[in-house]
Amino acid sequence: MTVRRRTLSAAIAIGLAATATAPAAVAADGNRGRPGTGITSVTAITQIFTFGQEVAAVAVEYPAVVNPRTLDLGTFTVSDSIYNFRFSPLEDLATRADRTITRVYTNDEATIDPDGTSEPGRFVIIELDPADAGGNTVMRSTCSGFLCYEKINPDLPTEVVQNEDVYAQPGNGQGRGRVLAEAGPTSHPLSGETVNLLADEFHYETYLHAGMAVPYAYHLPADYDPAREYPLVVVLPGWGSGYNGVNEGVQVAVDISTTAWLQEEWTGSDEDVIVLSPQTQRVGTDAESAAMVALLDEFMGRFSVDGGRVYVQTFSWGSTLAWDAMADRPGIFAGVLIAAGFPVSAAQAALIAQDLTPVWITHGTNDPVLPVTFGQTSVQVLRDAYVAAGLDPAAAADLVRYTEFPPEAYAVPDYHAVVGPTYETQSILAWLLAQGD
């Protein structure tokens, strides 16, 4: 699947069509059907934060360049569902609350400006506080017993009300300009194609192995050069982000695990990294691990990867695939980061010790899904195996590291989702990228 991009020409076409075909909506806003007035489109702009993707801003499009001097934080109201898949029942999708607006400015495209500075354009960008309860794009999908999958909500409920008149940029640069859209009580739902920051830069494809379909996402550096070799980070998600037939791409959106490797503020490095994140079907560790390794081999044959710098980061169920792959092929990864994982077996550890792979394990003290003893056990079993392979205990402890996070380390009280505090500890990601370097 190729990345879909919303071009400016497409936005204009959508906007003109909306203006031409919705005179009733324009009249309801108090513009009395006047040509060239009214909101043309409303587009959600999402961003992936520590605990998942949210609507981070809304772009409201008008038929002419907007005068930014007449805009303020009260010009609009943005409302959204308070639903959060980590805590809420699906019924909460219908419960709405107003979002906190942090910045309002104009732009020439539907995207966020890092500085929040207005530039001439037909779009008004309304930035929202990510700490708000509303705006989450990930939702529960199918469930089997207590094990539920996630997916990206295909029908985001974000709405905008324009509380104050919006004016065009005056021709002489003075005054307010003509009214582009009058204030009104109408709630405008989303009408433009959602812009997903970073997530839209991934390629989404499917790999077939032994009759199993493995959807996967990958990202290449913007200036990818096949003559260079790049480190590769393989991200193996938890159970809920595995493939269930209808939830492609959720492993990128569910939390920061995949997109962090593209951002220096997370990794502490400006080095270009290739990222690969597969969604295996939850049919058993052996089959899933074999499919993941086959995909990895095929992927490395297609792209210019430094074979000595292939890393894996796992969350929850993804750890089972990593332990299995490392036991079957010691040295397949130059470094491993296991977050809230299942315990490695003594037999697997003995095989992994043949390569003395560097491993960092993190776990939450109050993890309600996989008890903290799982992480503690893995550390001890691996260190014992490394000592048995010839390392002294101090060297084994340095090669197999462990961090345990208490509840106060979590910005969101999902104490299984230890990827949050793990990734916020920048030194851990920097350590992984330094292995094999």
Could you report the per-residue pLDDT of 422-436, keeping only the tens digit for each?
999 999 999 999 999
Going 31 to 33 to 36 to 39, the CA torsion angle's sign is positive
As annotated, the residues of the chain forming the CATH 3.40.50.1820 domain(s) are 202-434
Phi-psi map region of 331: left, alpha, beta (phi>0 left; psi -120 to 50 alpha):
left
Strand partners, 180: none
CB neighbour burial string for 69-78, b if at least 16 within 10 angstroms, e if fewer: ebbeeebbbb
Count CB atoms within 10 A of the CB of residue 258: 26
Is residue 18 over pLDDT 70?
Answer: no
- Mean pLDDT, the chain, rounded, equals 92
* pLDDT given at position 5: 33
* pLDDT given at position 314: 98
Is residue 55 over pLDDT 70?
Answer: yes
* pLDDT given at position 2: 34
Most confident of 5-9, 140-144, 262-266: 262-266
Global pTM? 0.90
Mean pLDDT computed over 195-201 = 98
Is residue 19 over pLDDT 70?
Answer: no
Which tops the pLDDT comparison, 12 or 285?
285
Q: Which residue has the tokens 């997916």?
A: 151
C-alpha 43/C-alpha 159 separation (Å) is 10
Instruction: Tell me phi and psi for residue 196, to 5 degrees.
Output: -105, 100
Pick the CATH number of 202-434 from 3.40.50.1820, 3.50.50.60, 3.40.50.1860, 3.30.230.70: 3.40.50.1820
Mean pLDDT computed over 398-427 = 97
Q: Which residue has the tokens 């996630």?
A: 150
Is residue 17 over pLDDT 60?
Answer: no
Is residue 203 over pLDDT 80?
Answer: yes
Pick the CATH number of 8-196 from 2.40.240.20, 3.30.70.260, 3.40.190.10, 2.60.40.2180: 2.60.40.2180
- Ordered strands of the 274-278 beta sheet: 203-209, 212-219, 274-278, 230-236, 305-315, 335-339, 359-364, 400-405
Q: Which residue has the tokens 């007035």?
A: 37
Among candidates 381, 340, 342, which has minimal Cα distance to 364? 340
Q: Give the pLDDT band (50/70/90) at residue 16.
A: very low
* pLDDT given at position 349: 98
**Contact residues for 139 (Cβ-Cβ < 8 A; gap 6+):** 83, 85, 90, 93, 150, 151, 152, 153
List Cα–Cα distances, 208 to 205, 213, 214, 235, 290, in angstroms: 10, 5, 6, 19, 12
Q: What's the CA dihedral at 234, 239, 244, 249 to 10 degrees?
A: -40
Write the single-letter amino acid at 213: A
**Contact residues for 169 (Cβ-Cβ < 8 A; gap 6+):** 64, 65, 66, 67, 120, 177
112 CA to centre of own chain: 16
Q: Give the pLDDT band (50/70/90) at residue 297.
A: very high
| E strand map for 91-177 | 96-98, 101-107, 123-128, 138-144, 147-152, 159-162, 166-167
Mean pLDDT computed over 290-312 = 98
DSSP state for residue 79 in the 8-state scheme: E
Write the single-letter amino acid at 216: Y
Which range among 29-43, 118-132, 290-304, 336-350 shows the weakest confidence by mean pLDDT? 29-43
Is residue 36 over pLDDT 70?
Answer: no
| E strand map for 147-247 | 147-152, 159-162, 166-167, 179-181, 187-189, 195-196, 203-209, 212-219, 230-236
Structure tokens at 8: 């400016």
Q: Are 340 and 416 in contact (CB under 8 A)?
A: yes
